[in-house]
Amino acid sequence: MKTVLRIAQGFCWSIIPLQSWIVLLGAVFLLGAMGFGAFEQEPQDIHIYAMVGMAGAIIIAFVPALSGGAALRFASSRSMLHLRPRGRATMLSASMLAITALAALIALPVLLGQFATQSAGFAPIPRSPLPAHVFAVSWSVMALLWGIVFVASGSRAFSFLAILPIFIVPPLLIHSSQAALDLPGPFTWFLLALAFWLLFTVWYMRADAFRTPRWFGDRSSQNFESTPAGMVSSLLDFSRSALSPQRAGSLLLLGASSPLRYAITNTVWLAVIFLFFAVMGTGSARARAGRVPGMEFVLVFGATLGAQLAYMSARRARLLWLRAGSDRMSLFAMAERNGLAATLWSLLLTAAIVGCFTLLRAPDFARSLLLFAAAQLPAWVAAYYCGMSLTRTPNLIDVCLCIGLVLLFFVQMVFVQPKVDVSSLQLSLAAAFWLGLSILLRALAKRRWRALDWRIARLTFPSQRTG
Amino acid sequence: MSESAVSIQALHWAIKGRSVLQGITTEVRPGDVVGVIGKNGAGKTTLLETMLGFSPPASGSARIFGEDCRNLSEAVKMRIGFVPQQDELLPTLTGTHQISLTSSFYSTWDSALVDRLAREWEVPLDRRANVLSGGERQKLSTLLALGNRPDLLVLDEPVASLDPLARRRFLQQLLEVAGDAQRAVIFSTHIVSDLERVANRIWIIKDGRLLWDGETDNLKQSVRRLHIRARRPLPSELGLRGVLSSRRAPDNMTATVTVRDLGEADLQAAAARMEAHIESEGLGLEDIFLEIHA
């Protein structure tokens, strides 16, 4: 039982490096809402606090829900469970415990809110969710995601099948205003999820062996070379007889011998996704409402790719230390030159591909789309420098920086929308803000690179084959 | 007098308040083959990587060919070869591509040497790094470090994954290539027999301190195990200098003491003082290492 508790705690606390901070953030929301809600008398206010508390619990459950299955697969691999008595039963029990505990945590604020409303002698608020329903839905979603992610992470083909719904559900939502159609009730979902979980349990206990998750080249996903795109890139890079030091440096920093090649082989999928939604969105309700059809309004979130590239470059610069440049600042300049160009190529390719399509199919939107895409540029640059500044094990400042950046992305997404009558002033203001932030973040990144310690910020390569 | 390959002065490095290197001072000259030995976590890798500038020192300094490790010119970098403990091969590149990638950084790359060693060490250059065995990866990493004919070669546990036969042949050839009077080699290892066979100097590191820095033969001569047999109970303090470890029999009439730098005159004086017969025994490196860490 102690082991089960310990593993369940691991699922909820330490699957990924920043998870503990995310949990603490969620706990602040949850406990804060419950604390303040306890002093409220008005049912409407109690309801609001219950919803905020539920949001906090969802933040806590977010990482385990999305990556618990992959963590379970990692822990269930032959090398991890070999010779451990009742290993699989223990892992499964811990998963079940984590799912149930997190679902209960999500339902808790609603339960307390309902209790507080009734104790104060008020009638329940109409349309407020019932705790049992919240629990049933949360449990169902978590269990389904857990199992699906476990299966999907087994191979890249399964992973692709698992992300197919992403291509189907949003277009349906774009085309239909009746998002909630006639879905079955919470308890039907619960029963279906329970049946799924039972089947999953039987399969999990009977399967011969499980491979480690195929999604990542390593646990921190820092290697592009291990991805199919990286392999294609490698073949292209060595098709010529000799690499120049510049191209070799770029290869070590980016995983591709030029920024353009990096964008083509590693991030062109972003353009494909946006193009897909642009195609699906033509003639949709959004288009009729004068907004750019498709999903371009979330383009700002693509900036996280640049942040990831920059984070990785800081670590990969170690490979260049004894080969190029004289000090850390010259490597910073080299990483900046290559990484920024790669990031900007990624945005440019996405904007160009979607822009060309829009120009042909919906020319009214082309100008505003290109203006909007151009205004994203400083946000992508800011995110790049944010990644460049993460040179150590994350501390509170780094966590606040990352969370702050994501919150700013949300603000931008809500307030700066791509539409026909897009306001140039609004775009300019947003761009100016991001530009200012970029300058600050660049200064921070530069300061941190001066003392960059590659014994701390270092690459983790995939485990070696031995024997 | 020739230029120092490495010069380290009061080098400190710490992480999260824990001192990993505590004031290490030493020097490496061309022609030196230095073996670094110490327990896990003693600070060997930290010393090698801090010395090469991967990690800025908390205090003190390390100079490579006269330049501060934090700002090494390209000219000095061209004279260094480094094999890290965990290899840094790009997983999907073949050995040939890894060599091509690395060679592009160096103006003087000895392709003939690399080809010859690859053949002799049986490194499959046509296979991707992620399908190579640990030993093959280690050999390939070493090839990449040797291609520029470095004046300073630093290897962090280069033979850990090799079988005894391959290890012996590998080290021998490594020294043929890199261990002449103009070049310096520093390598860390846990295999004491390799040190005895290859190194002419030894650094013993314990808890971030350089416990021994000197020639291998001197170390073996200076550390001795004394078997003391007294005619009456031994005093609580034996009064011996440089005691590394000491064990007494329950009757307190005999003791085994390992000492360092104890001269013959001191030994005779101690025997007379304790009214005991003292037999002195020379130790192999492995025993010395064990006694130091006892």
**What is the pLDDT averaged over residues B30-49?**
93
User: How does residue B273 score in pLDDT terms, banded at 50, 70 and 90?
Assistant: confident
What lies within 8 Å, CB to CB, of B185 at 6+ separation is: B32, B33, B34, B152, B153, B154, B155, B174, B175, B178, B179
Residues in chain B with CB shorter than 8 Å from the CB of A223 are 90-91
Q: Can you read off the two tokens belonging to residue A409? A: 């992305």
User: In 3-state terms, what secondary structure has residue B19?
Assistant: strand
**Tell me, what's the pLDDT at B270?**
85
At residue A229, the pLDDT reads 61
Contact B55 A453 (CB under 8 A): yes
Q: Which residues of A touch B140 (CB under 8 A)?
A: none
Q: How many CB atoms lie within 10 A of CB A190?
A: 21
Write the DSSP symbol of residue B237: S
Average pLDDT of A100-121? 90
Task: Please state the ipTM of this predicted complex.
Answer: 0.87
Q: What region, left, alpha or beta, does residue A140 occupy, with left being phi > 0 and alpha being psi -120 to 50 degrees? A: alpha
* pTM higher than 0.80: no
Check CB contact of A451 with chain B, cutoff 8 Å: yes
Residue A176 has pLDDT above 80, yes or no: no
Instruction: Give the closest residue to A63 by CA, choosing from A3, A109, A17.
Output: A17
Q: How far apart are CA A310 and CA A388, in angstroms?
A: 5
Residue with tokens 């009730």: A185
Q: Of A230, A248, A466, which is closest to B101 when you measure between CB atoms?
A: A248
pLDDT of res. A328:
92
Range in A102-111, A113-122, A318-327, A347-356 the model is least confident about: A113-122
What per-residue confidence (pLDDT) applies to A222?
46
Name the packing angle between helices A245-254 and B95-103 (round to 10°). Answer: 120
Q: What pLDDT digit, counting tens, does each position of A410-424 carry?
A: 888 888 877 777 788
User: Residue B46 above 80 pLDDT?
Assistant: yes
* CA gap A453, B88 in Å, rounded: 17
Asked whether the beta carbons of B219 and B185 are under 8 A apart, the reply is no
Structure tokens at A45: 């206010």
Q: What integer pLDDT is reported at residue A183 of this predicted model? A: 60
The answer to whether B130 contacts A462, with C-beta atoms less than 8 Å apart, is yes
Q: Check residue A343 and give its pLDDT.
A: 92
DSSP string, A321-385: HTTS-SSHHHHHHHHHHHHHHHHHHHHHHHHHHHHHHHHHH-HHHHHHHHHHHHHHHHHHHHHHH
For residue A22, pLDDT beyond 70: yes
Query: Do residues B85 and B155 lie in contact, with contact meaning Cβ atoms separated by under 8 Å?
Result: no
Query: Is it the case that residue A135 has pLDDT exceeding 90?
Result: yes
> Closest to B91 (Cβ–Cβ): which among A238, A319, A461?
A461
Share of chain B above pLDDT 70, in %: 99
Confidence grade of residue A276 (pLDDT, cut at 50, 70, 90): confident
- pLDDT exceeds 90 at position A202: yes
Among B105, B151, B161, pick the best mutation site for testing chain A contact (most A Cβ within 10 A).
Answer: B105
- For chain B, give the number of residues: 294
Higher pLDDT, B272 or A466: B272
The angle formed by the CA atoms of residues A337, A343 and A344, to the nearest 5 degrees, is: 90
* Region A123-127 average pLDDT: 72
Does position A220 have pLDDT exceeding 60, yes or no? no
When pLDDT is cut at 50, 70 and 90, the band that residue A359 belongs to is confident
